Amino acid sequence: MKYISALLIVMLTYISYGQDKKYVTVKKSYEVMGGDFDITVVSVDEELGYIYIQEALAEVQRIEKLISSWDQDSETSLINRNAGIKPVHVSWELYKLIERSIQISEITNGAFDITFTALKDVWKLDGSMQSLPSKANVEAVQSRIGYKNIVLNNKDQTVFLKKKGMKISFGGIGKGFAADKAKALLVSKDVKAGIINLNGDITTWGTKVTGDKWLIGVMNPDLKGGIASWIPILESSVATTASDGNFIMSGNKKYTHILDPKTGFPATGINSVSVFAKSAELSDALATSIFVMGLDAGLALINQLGDTEVIIVDSANKMHKSNGILLN
C-alpha cells in the first residue's frame, strides 16, 4: 500500500501557456483500485478537462480489471487458478507487465516478488490478527513463493506458475502501472500538463506557465506536517511506501504490513521510502523493494541506477538520500 504522508504536491488553480491562450486546471477525485485517485489536468476549457478525466478514470478501471487478483474473471485470477496445472494465454499488456516484474525481482535479488501473495494466507494484516503466525506455518507458505517459478513463453504468450497454490498479485507495482497508462492516454490526446495521484503513486507531465517544474514537498520526519525541502520534478514520477498502514502488534513490537518475500516476515528498519523515477511503475516497485532490502542495500541499488533517486526515513526517523537528491 502506498501513502502520500511523506510527500506534498503543489498544484495550481489556473495555468496559462503562451501569451494569448488561457488554460484552466480541472481536478477530480475518485475511489478506485482500493484507494484514492486524484487527477488534475490542464485544458483549454473546463468541460473538455472533465472529459479527459473521465477517459483517464476509464483507463485505470480497465487496468484494474486486467490485473486484479480479486476479480475472478481477470486474467490474473485465471493464471492463479491454473497454477501447477497448465500455462495460460494472456494479453500482451499483462505478459509484459509480468516480464518487467521479474526483471525487477532480479535486480533487487528477490526483494520484489509478485508471488509473495501466498503470504497473505498466514498474515492477516487488517487488524484482525491477535498473534504472530508460527514459523512452521510461514515456512509452509514459503514453498509456494519464488519469482523463478514463473514460466513465460514469449512465442505462445503464456504464463505458467509451476507450483500448485502459487499466486501472483500486483500490489507493489499495479497502481504505478495504471497511473502510467492513464498519463500515456492523456499525453496521446495532447493534454498539456497534469498530475495523477493514484493512492500515493504520483506522475506528472508538463510545467507551470512560467516554465518552472512541479514541486514535491518532502515532509520533515521530525516535524509532523512540516516541509523539509522542495524538490522540482519534470516529466517524472514518485511513489512512497510507508509503514503507517496496516500492521500487527505483538507484545510491544509493531510489525508492518510490508512483507519480505524471502523470509516470510515483515520488513524492519525503515519507516518510509520515496522513489523518484521516470515512470510511476518503476517508482512503485522500487519503493516496495527498498523497504524490504533495507537502508544500505537500497541506497546502493539506487546509486547504481540511472535517472532514479530515493529518500529513505529509517525507523529512528532519520532521513537518508541518494547521491542525486539535493535538499534545499
Which one is predicted more confidently, 89 or 240? Answer: 89
> CA-CA distance, 325 to 328, in Å (whole number)?
10
Fold match, 7-67+173-321 / 75-161: no
Torsional class of 220: left (φ above 0), alpha (ψ -120 to 50), beta (otherwise)? beta
* Digit-coded pLDDT (tens) for 171-198: 999 999 999 999 999 999 999 999 999 9
Report which of residues 307 and 290 the model is more confident about. 290
Instruction: Specify the pLDDT at position 99.
Output: 98
Whose cell is 497534469? That residue is 194
Looking at residue 327, its pLDDT comes to 66
Q: Which CATH number fits domain 75-161: 1.10.3980.10, 3.40.1390.30, 3.20.20.70, 3.40.50.10420?
A: 1.10.3980.10
The domain locations on the chain are 7-67+173-321, 75-161
Question: Please, which pLDDT band fits residue 151 given cuts at 50, 70 and 90?
Answer: very high
Per-residue model confidence as pLDDT tens digits over 25-46: 899 999 999 899 999 998 888 9
Distance CA 101, CA 285 (A): 8
Query: CATH for 7-67+173-321, among 3.10.520.10, 3.40.50.720, 3.30.70.20, 3.40.50.1860?
Result: 3.10.520.10
Nearest to 281 by CA among 157, 150, 184: 184
Q: What is the pTM of this model?
A: 0.89
Please tell me the predicted confidence (pLDDT) of residue 13.
Answer: 40
Please give the single-letter amino acid code of residue 165: G
